Amino acid sequence: MAQDSEKEREGLKDVTLGRSEVIAHRPLEIGNAAAANVPATLPVPSPARTRRRWGRIALLVVMLATAAAGSYYWWKNSQDELPQGIVSGNGRIEADEIDVATKFAGRVAELRVEEGDMVSAGEVVARMDTRDLEASLKRAEAHVLQAQRAVDEARATEDQQRAQVALAKQQFDRTSYLMQRGNSTQELLDQRRQQLDGATASLNAATARIAQTEHALAAAEHEVELLTVNISDNSLVAPRDGRVQYRVARIGEVLPAGGKVLTLIDISYVYMDIYLPTLDAGQAKVGTEALIVLDAYPNIAIPAKVSFIATQSQFTPKTVETQTERDRLMFRIRVRIDPALLREHAQAVRSGLPGVTYVRLDPKAQWPARLQRTVGS
């Protein structure tokens, strides 16, 4: 009995020591009594099988993505499809920029607006230092007063000389009368004649002096007018209704003549330039109706009209003469938004925003439903 128990213990030991070898190197034999108590193991999938499984999953994902992209492409094309007689082109909203600059060299004394402020035509937006011009103006006004006094003096002298001429004329006439009756001498008559001639010459000189002083007075007055205009020009005003885009200068800076202080956007002239091929550009006319749809506001169309059509093509050499290449010629078309509409929505006017312009070449063509919601409607 002791021997049997010893053999069983040795057998269990062998089984325990060799369990890992049995699991790793050979399958479990159902009929082997020694391994009957060893727990069964799950099969481990091979790397090749794992790669094939992931490959099938990736292929399925690619097929689904392709189908989704195709569906979106079909939907997008169906949405962007335009009826016959309506064409489109891409562009950016632009507005004329106006530089408010100095006429004379000087120091910036005052700035009344900031970037983004709306300004009206004629509104003073900045002032330059005009102390030197104001001093010159005072001097010119003093010259005007001096010239006016000179004119008054010359006129008084003329009146005096006119009286002298009248007296000399009376004396000459009296002496001539007495000379005819023998009551006067020829010598006295000659003296009276010389006095009359001298008085007449002095009167002519006084009259000329008046003209001279009047010219000097006019020159002094023009100098005052010029300085007044120069001082006024140092008050910089907005030439058009618009928005301040940039404030270039700062208070205290000394600018040369023509130095830029502000840059305004003219909100009364907003447009978009697009390019159309030859056939479409040939049908467009100035005044043709158009709609602008901005990327920022895709559900609102902005009414506009064609205001300019380029006479020269773009993108191709001028010497191209084949029919195929002529069809590729592109012409610049400008569509402009109605100024009255811009004034109503001045606060919303922006420049640089991308969008699409739709031009209705055929007046009978109907706008698509997505373009019928316009600004103001």
For the segment 54-105, what is each residue's pLDDT rounded down to a tens digit? 767 777 776 766 655 554 444 444 445 778 889 989 999 998 899 999 999 9
Show the tokens assigned to 264: 């305004």
Separation of alpha carbons 108 and 302, rounded Å: 40
- 60 vs 181, higher pLDDT: 181
Separation of alpha carbons 26 and 34, rounded Å: 14
Q: Are 244 and 117 in contact (CB under 8 A)?
A: yes
Separation of alpha carbons 191 and 196, rounded Å: 9
374 DSSP assignment? B
CA separation, residue 152 to residues 160, 210, 214 (Å): 12, 8, 9
Show the tokens assigned to 272: 């978009």
> What does the mean pLDDT of the chain come to?
80
The secondary structure of the chain in percent helix, strand, coil, rounded to multiples of 5, reads: 50, 25, 30
What confidence tens digit (pLDDT) does each residue in 40-54 have? 444 555 666 676 667
pLDDT of residue 8: 47
Separation of alpha carbons 75 and 312, rounded Å: 37
pLDDT at 17 over 50: no
Strand-strand pairing, 235-237 and 330-337: unpaired
Edge-first strand order for the sheet with 235-237 is 235-237, 124-128, 106-111, 254-255
pTM above 0.85, yes or no: no
What confidence tens digit (pLDDT) does each residue in 215-258 have? 999 999 999 999 999 999 999 999 988 899 889 999 999 999 99
pLDDT at 311 over 80: yes
Separation of alpha carbons 289 and 363, rounded Å: 8
